[in-house]
Structure 1
Amino acid sequence: MTKHAAVVQGEAVPRERVDAFLQTVTTTPQRGAGSADMRLRRVGATSHDGAADARQPHTAPPAAHSPQAERQRRRWATQVVVADELARRACEERGLEQPPEVSPTHVLAIAGTDVADLGSIVAATLAHSAAARLLLAELERQQDVPEAAVQDYYERNRDRYLTPDALRRGVDPFGRTAPADFLPYQQAREGIAHELGRAAGHRAFFDWFDQARADVVYAAGHEHPGDPSHPDHEHRH
């Protein structure tokens, strides 16, 4: 049996790192939450700064009730550990000063809603990896949201900007309304720009991850859970 789980840029990632991560995972996700390739589908999806405001424990594929489940669980954990390694290298390349790593026995939690929005691999990576959170924050910071995009979002989603009084009166945002029924654009603008920038940052993080892991070589038993080359593959959405 090999002593490594994967090879990243010519360097082995020890199996011990996967084993240590598996010791921190105790709960199970929604069916099909194992894909790292899910995309944010709405501007309001949040990361809560990677995990700081999380309310529920992050989740892993099904606990080891069968050999197949155990194999998939290990493959899922390998993806998280590899993503952490890739993020550490990316931060170093960008000259980002990384904070101390979280102890494997004190992994941060992440909200269940984020698991649905991000996919359990990326959600768990952000909870597990300080480097991944730092990289995500940097990618969010780099996003330049055009004013036209902010205004377009405001115009297309007027139902989100009804005033409290309009909501109490049951105003139909797509029916007859008055300007006073909506929050002014300038009042809503900052929040919209923030959410659009966050969503763009998450897309940039997914794109980075897809490219960064393209050349990773996995040891037998540590492939991606959705890799069709192994008999237990599972890739549901």
Structure 2
Amino acid sequence: MSKHAAVVSGEPVPVERVDALLAAVPARDARTARDRPSAQDPETARTEARTEARTEARTEALARAERQRRRWATQVVVTDELARRACAERGLAPPGEVSPQRVPAVSGTDVADLGSIVAVALAHSPAARALLAALEAEQRVPEEAVRDYYVRNRDRFLTKDALRRGVDPFATATADDFRPYERVRDDVARELRRARGRQAFFDWLDRAREGVAYPAGHEHPGDPAHPDHEHRH
């Protein structure tokens, strides 16, 4: 197996960094296929051949999942490496060191919003968090965009009393049923700035990954060039 997991700007990323992350984030099912109970009721398992075929299928499924887990972990480590370089280029204060022995928990909401690779990279990498914060701070949200969001998402700004009464924000609601724009304006602007910062991070990562080279076994999980590929983020 290759001694490096990727090559970034001509410099190898040691495979040990991927191994450390894999050790810190256990597989979803660490049991072997033979430790698992049969998915088929014993009464219907009429032949030894069928049982063996099922076992072999489960074994291959677990092996495939582990190969994809290594590719996934490689993307997390590469994101950290790219973020470190971006922070250096921007003159950002050096972020704290990664602790591969402990990766903070990632919420299901973050995974849904960011994708598992980016969500775990942000939890794992101080550099990625520093870069995201810098990109978010750079965003400028026009007043028109803030007010437009308020107008188009009226259901989000109902008062507690209106919610209790089940008011329809798009039909029966009156002006008194909504929190005033002036009271929510800063929160809306902050939310939009955060969303734009995340989009800027995604755009940066897409560009930064273009020149990264991967040896066999460390390709992107969704790369159709390898037989295990699946389209996930």
The TM-score bracket by the shorter chain reads 0.7 to 0.9
Q: Is the 8 A contact 2:221 2:232 kept in 1?
A: no
Structure 1 residue 136 corresponds to structure 2 residue 107: no
Taking CA–CA contacts closer than 8 Å with sequence separation of 6 or more, which of the two structures ends up with the larger relative contact order?
Answer: 1
Q: Which runs of 5+ in 1 are unaligned?
A: 30-63
Equivalent residue of 1:202, what SS? helix
Structure 1 residue 188 corresponds to structure 2 residue 184: yes
Structure 2 distance, partners of 1:177, 1:115, is 35
Post-superposition shift, 1:180? 1.0
Give the aligned length: 203
Structure 1 distance, partners of 2:92, 2:230, is 35
Superposed, 1:73-222 pairs within 5 Å as 73-222=69-218
The aligned residue for residue 226 of structure 2 is 230
Structure 2 distance, partners of 1:166, 1:67, is 54
CA offsets per residue over residues 106-139 of structure 1, 9 Å max, x none?
Answer: 2222211111111100011001100000000000
Structure 2 distance, partners of 1:88, 1:116, is 25
Q: Is the 8 A contact 2:99 2:124 kept in 1?
A: no
Equivalent residue of 2:210, what SS? coil
Structure 2 distance, partners of 1:101, 1:136, is 16
Structure 2 distance, partners of 1:201, 1:18, is 27
Q: Choose 1 or 2 for highest CA Rg.
A: 2
Structure 2 distance, partners of 1:69, 1:176, is 52
CA offsets per residue over residues 114-167 of structure 1, 9 Å max, x none?
Answer: 111111000110011000000000000000000000000000011111111111
Q: Which runs of 5+ in 2 are unaligned?
A: 30-59
The aligned residue for residue 25 of structure 2 is 25
Equivalent residue of 1:188, what SS? helix
The aligned residue for residue 14 of structure 2 is 14
Q: Is the 8 A contact 2:154 2:169 kept in 1?
A: yes
Equivalent residue of 2:222, what SS? coil
Equivalent residue of 1:116, what SS? helix
Q: Is the 8 A contact 2:76 2:121 kept in 1?
A: yes
Matched residues, percent identical?
Answer: 68
**Which structure has more helix as a fraction of its residues?**
2
Structure 2 distance, partners of 1:21, 1:8, is 18
Q: Is the 8 A contact 2:21 2:73 kept in 1?
A: yes
Q: Which runs of 4+ in 1 moved over 6 A?
A: none
Give TM-score, length-normalised by structure 2.
0.84
Q: Is the 8 A contact 2:75 2:220 kept in 1?
A: yes
Which range moved further: 212-221 or 107-116?
A: 107-116
The aligned residue for residue 43 of structure 2 is none
Equivalent residue of 2:198, what SS? helix
Q: Is the 8 A contact 2:20 2:100 kept in 1?
A: yes
